[in-house]
Amino acid sequence: MSFHASMRSIFSRKNMNLVVGLLTLLLALWIVMFAVPSLFVNLFDTLLGNLILLGFIVLAFMFNIKLGLGLAVVFLILYRFSHMSMSMAMGM
């Protein structure tokens, strides 16, 4: 399968709503993280923030297993990056 054929299948009319929704979600998350970075830090640094994230994952698993698994992986990656950035900031 060539690159152009795979790009056409991603941006087909059938998937266009999904692609636009994902890009909108990513843009909204970026704006929130840029405007209020303390929210991002507190979400992964406090016990209540971790419980809220765990609640989102559980609710997503109840709705759709693949969605819950994907959300868990995304939160795990963000959790690791937030702790790496905090440890780098403390070291400087």
CA dihedral angle for residue 53, residue 78, residue 62, residue 17, rounded to 10 degrees: 120
Nearest Cα to Cα of residue 40 among 75, 2, 5, 4: 75
pLDDT over threshold 80, residue 26: no
CA distance 80 to 61: 21
Spans of all domains in the chain: 1-35, 36-92
Is the pTM of the predicted complex or chain greater than 0.75?
Answer: no
Per residue in 62-90, pLDDT (tens digit) is: 888 888 888 888 888 877 877 776 666 56
